[in-house]
Structure 1
Amino acid sequence: MENALIIGASGGIGAAMARELETRGTRVTGLSRSADGLDVTDEASVERLLGALEGAFDLVLTATGALEIDGAEPEKTIRRLDPRAMMDQFALNAVGPALVLKHAIRLVPRRDKAVMATLSARVGSIGDNGYGGWYSYRAAKAAVNQVVRTASVEFARSHRALACVALHPGTVATAFTRKYADRHPTVTPEHAAGRLADLLSGLDATQTGRFFDYAGKEIPW
C-alpha cells in the first residue's frame, strides 16, 4: 500500500498501525481528536477535515471507538441498560464510522486496488453471540457491520477494485480494554498492528463486504 489514511491515529491501535505501515514504506496521513480536533460524531468536523485532504488513498482505516463512554460500563443485564449510554455508543461506534465512509470515499481511487476498513469487534456478531450482555456495545458494533456491508454494495458499483470490510483486531492491550480483558489473552498494539497490516495487504475486491478477524478468518454476521 502506498498511501494510507488512518482515522483515530492517536489511539492505541491507530497509532501502532501508523508506525507499522510506515515501516513497510507506506505514506501515512493520520487524523484524530487529540491532534486535529476530529469528532467523528459531528458531521461538520468530519466533512471539514476530510474535505481538506487531496490525493488518492489506497487504504482508509477507521480505528476509532470506545467500549466505555462517560463512565457507562458495558451492561451485564438488560436491567442496567440506559438510553443515553446506548445512544452514545451508537454515535461513536456506528454513526462515526458511517460518516467517515460517506466523506472518505471520494479520496479512494475508482479503478485501482484499494481497501476501506473499519475496526469492529467480534461481539458485534449476532451469529457468534453465546454469552449475552454488553447490549449497547454489541448493538452498536452490529450496526456498524451493517453499515460496512451496505456501503460495500454501493461502492462496488463505482469502485470495482475496492474492498470495503469490517475487521476484528483481537483483544488488544490498550486503555480501551484494560478493565474488561479478564482472563482473555491479549496482544500488544504493535503485535495487533502487524497482524492487521498483513491481512490488509492481502485483501482485494473479491472479499468486499465481509467481516474478518485479525487472522483473516471470516466472522458470521
Structure 2
Amino acid sequence: MKDALVIGASGGIGSALVAELENRDVRVTGLSRSADGLDVTDEASVKVHLGALDGEFDLVFVATGALELDGRGPEKSLKELTADAMEAQFRVNCVGPSLVLKHSVRLLPRDRECRFAALSARVGSIGDNGLGGWYGYRTAKAAVNQMIHGGAIELSRTHRQSICVALHPGTVETPLTEKFAGGHTTVTPEAAATNLLDVLAGLTPENTGQFFDWAGEPVPW
C-alpha cells in the first residue's frame, strides 16, 4: 500500500489512522470538516473535495460518524424516538459514507488490490441485537452496512481486486463514546487504528462486501 485517503482525518480514530499509516510508510491524504470544510452529508461538498484529488489511492477509509448529535444521545426507549434525531443519525452515519463511496470509485485503481473501508458498529448488527434501544444509531449503522455490501458488489464489476468492507473498531476512547462506554472494555484510538489496519491488510477480494470487527472476526448482519 502506497497511498491512502482518510475521510474524517481530524477525529479520534481518523487522526490515529493517519499516524499509523504514516508509520507504515504510506502517503496519506486527510480530509475533514474542521480542517478542510468537508461535509460528508452534503453531496456538493463531497464532490468538490474528492473531485479536486488526483491520482489513485490504494485505500480509502471513511472514519466519520457520530453517536450523539445536537446533544441527543442514544434512545433508551421508543418514547424517546423522534423523526429529526433518526434523520440526523442517518445523514451522518449512512448518507455520509455512501456519498464518499460514490465519489471514490474513480480514485481506486483497477489493476491491483484496492480497499474501501467505512467505520460501522456492532450495535448496527440486526443478528447481534439482544438489547434493543439506541434506535437511530443502530438503524443508521445497519443502513451503512447494507450500502457497503451492495456497493461492494457493484465495485467488483469494474475493480475486480477491490475489497470494500464495514469495520467495527471496538469501544474506542474518544469523545463519541466516553459517556456511553459503561462497563465495556475500551481501547485507545492508536490501538484501534493498528487493529483496523491489520485486519484490512489480511483481507482479500473474496472478503469484499463483508462486516468485520477489530480482531478480524465476521460480524453478523
Q: TM-score, normalised by structure 1?
A: 0.99
- CA–CA distance in structure 2, aligned partners of residues 71 and 109 of structure 1: 40
Residue in 2 that maps onto 1:96: 96
Residue segments in structure 1 that go unaligned for 5+ positions in a row: none
- Quote how far apart the aligned CAs of 1:173 are: 0.3
In structure 2, list runs of 5 or more residues that go unmatched. none
Q: How many angstroms apart in 2 are the aligned matches of 1:20 and 1:63? A: 14
How many pairs align? 221
Deviations 1:84-136, CA, capped at 9 Å, x for gaps: 01100000100000000000111000121011000000000000001110000
CA contact (8 A) 1:7 1:64 kept: yes
3-state SS, counterpart of residue 105 of structure 2: helix
The reply to whether residue 8 of structure 1 matches residue 8 of structure 2 is yes
Q: CA RMSD in A?
A: 0.5
Identity of counterpart residues, as a percentage?
63
2:180 paired residue number: 180
Give 1:155 shift: 0.6
Alignment partner of 1:61 is 2:61? yes
| Residues 163-190 of structure 1 deviation map (CA, whole Å, 9 limit, x = unaligned) | 0000000000000100000111100001
Q: Distance in 2 between matches of 1:30 and 1:76?
A: 35
Structure 2 CA distance for aligned equivalents of residues 152 and 14 of structure 1? 22
Residue of structure 1 equivalent to 2:44? 44
- 1:79 partner SS: helix
Secondary structure, counterpart of 1:116 in structure 2? strand
Which residue in 1 is equivalent to 2:134? 134
Q: CA offset at residue 204 of structure 1?
A: 1.7
Q: Which residue of 2 aligns with 1:160?
A: 160
**Runs of 4+ more than 6 Å apart:** none
Q: Distance in 1 between matches of 2:189 and 2:25?
A: 19
In 2, Cα distance between the equivalents of 1:64 and 1:47?
A: 17
Using the size of structure 2 for normalisation, the TM-score is 0.99
